[in-house]
Amino acid sequence: MDGVIHPVPMCQGMRIDILSVVPELLVSPLNHSIIRRAQDKGIVEIHIHNIRDWSKDKFRKVDDYPFGGEAGLVMMIQPVFDCIRELTAQRHYDEVIYTAPDAPVFNQKMANELSLKENIMILCGHYKGIDQRIRDYLVTREISVGDYVLTGGELPACIMTDAIVRLIPGAMNDETSALSDSFQDNLLAPPVYTRPAEFNGWKVPDILLSGNHAKIREWQEKIAYERTKALRPDLLEE
């Protein structure tokens, strides 16, 4: 009923199960770069489940019209309930997350927290939404990726998975790199440069070429604060 994104060795790390009615949308984003290497190393195991596999309808139907006469279609409770029940009977999940537009917005703090979990389940919304009883009785946490509506929760699931997995020790070649990303300390990251030191008359700041690491760090902190104040002052209020 489920498919592993990529063949992996025995996994001793995190397991992420993603439930979707259009699982094809998830395969490519989660099968390349850092996410794929993490799977190859056995750091994370990602399983995609097609909710239609649990439908009792001969046409594998998973949606129906909403009570109350509103427009659109709603994901039915039975296939989702049976899928979650089967998975939770096999292992404990630290979180059963629903990707919803009307939920707290995903941020780096959430990614840091979730990267410490052992087993996570992500339920991708679709159509008009899911039967509210799923949210009331099966979901432990709801997360949005912004104040806008997407066709489904597959892209948000990919975003969350990427942000979480890259924080797991061993996922990145340089584990300290993730610690200097934007938002880790409620500041935007300072600008970065690489060779050549001058191109088309555009020069790298002299301080970065000085070799004085203490001064460089001081400059980076100053620029990070200035960028945050100018672009995301809300972060300084947290």
CATH label of the domain that carries residue 40: 3.40.1280.10
Give the mean pLDDT of 128-151. Answer: 95
**Number of structural domains found in the chain:** 2
151 occurs within a structural domain = yes
Tell me: cis bond preceding 101? Omega within 30 of 0 counts.
no
100 occurs within a structural domain = yes
Q: Answer positive or negative: Cα dihedral of 156, 159, 162, 168.
A: negative
Same domain, 160 and 52: yes
- Looking at 165, 200, 223, the residue that finishes a domain is 165
pTM (2 d.p.): 0.87
Task: State the pLDDT at residue 5.
Answer: 47
Confidence class for position 1, pLDDT limits 50, 70, 90? very low
Residue 202 tokens read as 């555009």
Residue 218 tokens read as 């001081």
pLDDT in tens, 162-215: 999 999 999 987 665 665 566 678 899 899 999 999 999 999 999 999 999 999
Count of all residues that appear for the chain in the document: 238
Task: State the pLDDT at residue 6.
Answer: 44
CA distance to 107, 207, 210, per residue, from 203 (Å): 33, 11, 14
Task: State the pLDDT at residue 221.
Answer: 94
By C-alpha distance, which of 113, 122, 103, 111 is closest to 163? 111
Same domain, 92 and 204: no
Same domain, 223 and 120: no
pLDDT in tens, 16-71: 999 999 999 999 999 999 999 999 999 999 999 999 999 999 999 999 999 998 89
Same domain, 159 and 73: yes
The one-letter amino acid code at 18 reads I
Task: State the pLDDT at residue 138.
Answer: 97
172 occurs within a structural domain = no
177 occurs within a structural domain = no
Residue 131 tokens read as 């039967």
Q: For residues 60 and 103, what is the distance between their CA atoms, to the nearest angstrom?
A: 29
40 occurs within a structural domain = yes
Give a three-class secondary structure readout of the chain. CEEECCCCCCCCCEEEEEEECCCHHHHCCCCCHHHHHHHHCCCEEEEEEEHHHHCCCCCCCCEECCCCCCCCCEECHHHHHHHHHHHHHHCCCCEEEEECCCCCECCHHHHHHHCCCCEEEEEECECCCECHHHHHHCCCEEEECCCCCCCECHHHHHHHHHHHHCCCCCCCCCCCCHHHCCCCCCCCCCCCCCCCCEECCEECCHHHHCCCHHHHHHHHHHHHHHHHHHHCHHHHHC
Task: State the pLDDT at residue 127.
Answer: 87
Task: State the pLDDT at residue 3.
Answer: 54
Same domain, 146 and 66: yes
pLDDT in tens, 4-19: 444 444 556 899 999 9
pLDDT in tens, 66-102: 999 889 999 999 999 999 999 999 999 999 999 999 9
Q: For residues 77 and 75, what is the distance between their CA atoms, to the nearest angstrom?
A: 7
Sorted by sequence, the CB contacts under 8 Å of residue 189 that are 6+ apart come out as 180, 181, 182, 224
The two beta strands, 202-203 and 198-199, are: antiparallel
Same domain, 154 and 189: no
What is the CATH number for 205?
Answer: 1.10.1270.20
> Domain limits at 46?
2-165
Same domain, 105 and 188: no
Task: State the pLDDT at residue 8.
Answer: 41
Confidence class for position 106, pLDDT limits 50, 70, 90? very high
Mean pLDDT score of the chain, rounded to an integer? 92
